[in-house]
Amino acid sequence: MTRRRPHRVLAAVCAAAVLALAPAPPAHADAIRDQQWALAAMHTDRAWQTTQGEGVTVAVLDTGVDGTHPDLVGQVLPGKDLVGFGAGQGDPSWAIHGTAMAGIIAGHGNGPGRADGVLGIAPEVRILPVRVILESKDPARAKARKTRGTALAQGIRWAADNGADVINLSLGDDSESAHPDPGEDSAIQYALSRGISVVASAGNGGEKGDRISYPAAYPGVIAVAAVDEYGTHASFSTRRWYATVSAPGVDIVVANPDGHYYIEWGTSAAAAFVSGAVALVRAAHPGLDPAQIKKLLADTARDAPAEGRDDARGHGIVDPAEAIEAGSRLRPGELSARTATAGHRKRFFGPGPTPPPVADDPVNWAAPLAGGLGAALLAAAVVLWRGRNAPGHR
């Protein structure tokens, strides 16, 4: 294997590992699946007896998604670029993080019998890519920070209006200047009102003061903390009152547009797993609303803290199989809408949904998106394997 040095920048810049990639000698094809410990930890074998997510669309609001990747071919729908400039397909700083998250959610593998590559938690869902941020190494990032401050709010609304059933936000801001934004809060409430679940990473500030991260802290969001293979809270994962559940976020295998696979960590990966879990529940029980799904995940989480919930792991580790089973005993609309905001101590902004003004002025790119891959992103990587069918491989 070939290593690249971890690059970690949290707070107002980003927490992403987006360094130069180095080729690695070939490994056995099953090396990827052997290291996908998260699938077993989340009891996907049981959940897949009911569904693998067919008919559900997950919007990935991120840096873009490489729909030509062998593990994602056929899964990625036409999307939206709300940045409008920066690196394009084929550039080394394009769609790295977004592709990784899409693979966690919907990867179907590749090769004979699709036995190679990354297998996602919901391999039959469709991915709706919405580009709202640029990679940290993108030369146009500084320009985007000044001119695309409303991209996240616009992206949430666009996804809600264009077929999303679940919105994955593996991004955030946990800088000292982080604060709630009325446009983002309103957009999230708009999505929830349309029956769309919103999932976000809790933040990677566990060793940096546990500062509040947005969008995880907005009411109604399913905020996800990270655990390791042993179910232990990951030290980097932010401990805050808004944590709903936990999911794998350490030593996670991810796909990359360059044809390599990496092992990375972060609450962004944990959020992607939960978005996939929500998609499985939605596929099994399409009539349930976001409040019901959020409560289902909390009520059926395993390894719950002694008091039922804590700031480090929320209600415990998400278990989609248990949530699917419990969901069969619910009727649509059975729960009060209040459950969508359960666990939140504050109300940030008005009722929404009120469309925010569309402008190109620099409205706090550094807040929701300055983390780019932000408070929730992956921060260490190891090249694992270059697949025979990887793009550009001959």
pLDDT tens, position by position, 201-225: 999 999 999 999 999 999 999 999 9
Q: Which residue has the higher pLDDT, 362 or 229?
A: 229
pLDDT in tens, 240-260: 999 999 999 999 999 999 999
- Catalytic residue (choose from 175, 186, 237, 268): 268
Q: Is the pLDDT of residue 344 over 70?
A: no
pLDDT in tens, 33-48: 999 999 999 999 999 9
Mind spelling out the 3-state secondary structure of the chain?
CEECCCCCCCCCCCCCCCCCCCCCCCCCCCHHHHCCHHHHHCCHHHHCCCCCCCCCEEEEEECCCCCCCCCCCCCECCCEECCCCCCCCCCCCCCHHHHHHHHHHHCEEECHHHCEEEECCCCCCEEEEEECCCCCCCCCHHHHHHHCCCHHHHHHHHHHHCCCCEEEECCCECCCCCCCCHHHHHHHHHHHHCCCEEEEECCCCCCCCCCCCECCCCCCCEEEEEECCCCCECCCCCCCCCEEEEEECCCEEEECCCCEEEEECCHHHHHHHHHHHHHHHHHHCCCCCHHHHHHHHHHHCECCCCCCCECCCECCECCHHHHHHHHCCCCCCCCCHHHHHCCCCCCCCCCCCCCCCCCCCCCCCCCCCCCCCCCCCCCCCEEEEECCCCCCCC
62 classed as catalytic: yes
- Catalytic residue (choose from 69, 93, 97, 201): 97
Q: Is the pLDDT of residue 10 over 80?
A: no
pLDDT in tens, 279-310: 999 999 999 999 999 999 999 999 999 999 99
- Catalytic residue (choose from 62, 165, 174, 258): 62
311 classed as catalytic: no
97 classed as catalytic: yes
Q: Is the pLDDT of residue 3 over 90?
A: no
2-386: CATH architecture:
3-Layer(aba) Sandwich (3.40)
pLDDT (average), residues 310-330? 96
